[in-house]
Structure 1
Amino acid sequence: MTQIVFHVPRSWLSFGGKGLQPFYLRLTDGLQARGVRIEVEVLDRDTLPARVEEDDAIHVVHHGRFAHPRVRNADVAYIYPFWNFDAQGIRAFSSIAQKAFPQDDIDPEIARPFFRRLRQRMVGGRTSRYAQPDETTDVGKVAAAVFLQSEGHRVVGETCYLDRWEMLDGVCATIDGPVVVKPHPRDLDPATVQGLRDRLESYPHMSVSDGNIHDLIASADRVVTINSAVGIEAYLHRKPVLLCGQSDFHHVADVARSVEDLTQTLMRAPRKRAYDKFIWWYFGDQCLSSVDADLADRVLARCGLG
């Protein structure tokens, strides 16, 4: 009998925990209905490699980055209900990063309705991964909207091609027009506040806003970030994106791996891409949805069992 072992946080399984997330509940129910033996274990990242070698089961690791023929890594892929289910990692570390975007092979009659539905939910609903202000923010027309991330988070720091200050200084030094900057809502580091204050004195065309992310994206000619999910949301606005870090959604963005790259890219007029096709390819084809009727079958196929 096929066996799949799910490795999840201890807090989900401990007394008073919330239990498995809906994605895993629907998936395990579907797999069991297909005769798959399911086990759920507390995730121990230190002992996981040895645990995988103990049997010949498929091991699914929540929020993992374990590359092994019998390991799949799973977590939300920027926008719920879409999930990475990947043999290499999640988000910036997923194998999607190395894949070619087959733009010419995608049927626009499939991609456009998918894009419109997701756009209506996110842009029309003014929602994002983190809570956003309800009130409308008017910053006028800006040449670039720069979205910072907290580099205190290990994963962000190790994926940077440029750090936040190199990125922001490069944008403000190159662009003559207005630049708006939004700090990450969870970044409470006093150094971030001071760094922004210093730059407000140096760059009179720069402003700082904690406004709704969709208002800021809509106001901008282009969006600049390390590898934040705001890049995906900017695609939903059909806005050009410039990334300054490793990501798995770089295919329709410009990528700066140095300050020189950043400067040269900003000096060129941004061009728009096939955002509707990309959004369908990334979320509809490369990711899994917790509400897909064929979720269990897609997972079995990705485990080499379908």
Structure 2
Amino acid sequence: MNERHLSIYLDDWILEDVRAGRHNFFRRLIGAVEAAGWSVSLHETGPEARHEAPHKPGYALYRMEAPTHARALTCRRSYVGAFWHVEKMAERWDWPVAQATFAANSVDGEAAAQFFFAMRKRLYPGVKPSNDDNLAFIPLQGRLLDHRSFQAVSPVQMIEEVIARHDGPVVATLHPREHYDGAEINALEALNARFPRFRFQSGGSHELLPRCKFVATQNSALALEGFFLRKPAVLFGLSDFHHIAGSVPRDGIEAAFGKLRQTPPVARYLYWFLQLNALNAGRPEFEDRLRAQLWACGWPI
């Protein structure tokens, strides 16, 4: 096996679809590197495979896992549509797009508007947003009692900070793929007992998003989706899409909430963040842009 070989490491549940050619992003990625004269092999990821990977010739690609060595990269879907990133590190808030400066005036307004309305129609067909309920929406993620390194405060403390700064209803939703233990549910119930205008529920996020006044979250994808409905956001965690949001880690909590009074250029931002800075596996130029990204990351392709 020569240097121009790519080993792709995937979880078992996605590996079958990729081997069968049913996963569009990986099908086109494999085709792009093979067209450049590379060979490709697929592997199930896991501790043993990750331990052995640095000792294999060629290059490696993971999905939503940290790269294991200097010749490895990771990839991850960019929240919506067919948008993906291939990067040197797994933490989204360290990606180049997170560090870049968004300059709205440098973005083509007409192209941005076309992109914005087409994506909005695809994501939320027929939905008419409102904020008549004066509702703050908090899509929760995991580990509600922990204050992790990328967070300004723990998720439970985040809820209290929102309640302290918003006079209307505050509704939190549990993440459908997270497991919450008794202590976490007890903490949410205690907040409900202290603050009757706070409630939490399983499901209903996509019904709450069009009705809310703003989104508050650590870094949930629903905040980015909310931009398509012109819903402002306050982020309590580090994120790659912080640029037009209020960011507590970046701005401090009062300044972050102060940004809710601004009207950000959401169409230009989403076009810049997704179409210009991510890889769109639904576009004909995907292969060329992918190979350019791999070259920029140091791969000889």
| Structure 2 residue matching 1:18: 3-state secondary structure | helix
Q: Tell whether the 8 Å contact from 1:142 to 1:180 is kept in structure 2 after alignment.
A: no
| Structure 2 residue matching 1:85: 3-state secondary structure | strand
What code does the residue aligned with 2:5 have? Q
Q: Counterpart of 1:162?
A: 153
Q: Residues 255-266 of structure 1 correspond to what in structure 2 (within 5 A)?
A: 255-257=247-249, 261-263=252-254, 265-266=256-257
What code does the residue aligned with 1:256 have? V
| Structure 1 residue matching 2:17: 3-state secondary structure | coil
Q: Tell whether the 8 Å contact from 1:72 to 1:88 is kept in structure 2 after alignment.
A: yes
Q: Counterpart of 2:72?
A: 71
Change (3 A) 1:152 1:215: closer
Q: Tell whether the 8 Å contact from 1:84 to 1:94 is kept in structure 2 after alignment.
A: no
Instruction: Quote the offset at 1:210 in angstroms.
Output: 4.4
Q: Residues 51-66 of structure 1 correspond to what in structure 2 (within 5 A)?
A: 51-52=53-54, 54-55=56-57, 57-66=58-67
TM-superposition CA deviations, 1:126-176 (whole Å, max 9, x none): 7xxxxxxxxx9x99512422221122799x945322111110011112322
What code does the residue aligned with 2:30 have? T
Q: Residues 92-171 of structure 1 correspond to what in structure 2 (within 5 A)?
A: 92-124=93-125, 141-151=133-143, 157-171=148-162
Q: Counterpart of 1:18?
A: 17
Relative to the length of structure 2, the TM-score reads 0.82
TM-superposition CA deviations, 1:272-304 (whole Å, max 9, x none): 211111111121122112222222211110111
TM-superposition CA deviations, 1:58-98 (whole Å, max 9, x none): 32222122286533211222113211211222644533222
Change (3 A) 1:168 1:116: same
Q: Tell whether the 8 Å contact from 1:239 to 1:272 is kept in structure 2 after alignment.
A: no
Q: Counterpart of 1:3?
A: 5
Q: Which of 164, 170, 176 is the aligned partner of 1:173?
A: 164
Q: Tell whether the 8 Å contact from 1:162 to 1:244 is kept in structure 2 after alignment.
A: yes
Change (3 A) 1:291 1:101: same
Q: Residues 211-250 of structure 1 correspond to what in structure 2 (within 5 A)?
A: 212-250=204-242
Q: Counterpart of 1:275?
A: 266
Greater displacement, 232-241 / 168-177: 168-177
What code does the residue aligned with 2:253 have? L
Where in structure 1 are there 5+ consecutive unaligned residues? 127-135
State the distance in 2 between where 1:218 and 1:63 align.
29
State the distance in 2 between where 1:125 and 1:290 align.
26
Q: Counterpart of 1:28?
A: 30
Q: Counterpart of 1:185?
A: 176
| Structure 1 residue matching 2:199: 3-state secondary structure | strand
Q: Residues 31-50 of structure 1 correspond to what in structure 2 (within 5 A)?
A: 31-44=33-46, 48=50
State the distance in 1 between where 2:152 and 2:279 align.
29
State the distance in 2 between where 1:291 and 1:108 align.
22
State the distance in 2 between where 1:271 and 1:255 align.
13
Greater displacement, 210-219 / 285-294: 210-219
Q: Tell whether the 8 Å contact from 2:98 to 2:242 is kept in structure 1 after alignment.
A: yes
Q: Counterpart of 1:297?
A: 288
Instruction: Quote the offset at 1:22 in angstroms.
Output: 2.4
Change (3 A) 1:179 1:42: closer
Change (3 A) 1:300 1:192: same
Instruction: Quote the offset at 1:238 in angstroms.
Output: 1.0
State the distance in 1 between where 2:26 and 2:268 align.
28
Q: Counterpart of 2:85?
A: 84
State the distance in 1 between where 2:34 and 2:221 align.
33
Cα RMSD after superposing both structures: 3.2
Q: Which of 187, 199, 203 is the aligned partner of 2:195?
A: 203
Q: Tell whether the 8 Å contact from 1:70 to 1:303 is kept in structure 2 after alignment.
A: no
Greater displacement, 157-166 / 295-304: 157-166
Instruction: Quote the offset at 1:112 in angstroms.
Output: 1.1
Q: How many corresponding residue pairs?
A: 291
What code does the residue aligned with 2:216 have? V
Greater displacement, 96-105 / 241-250: 96-105
Where in structure 2 are there 5+ consecutive unaligned residues? none
State the distance in 2 between where 1:73 and 1:41 align.
14
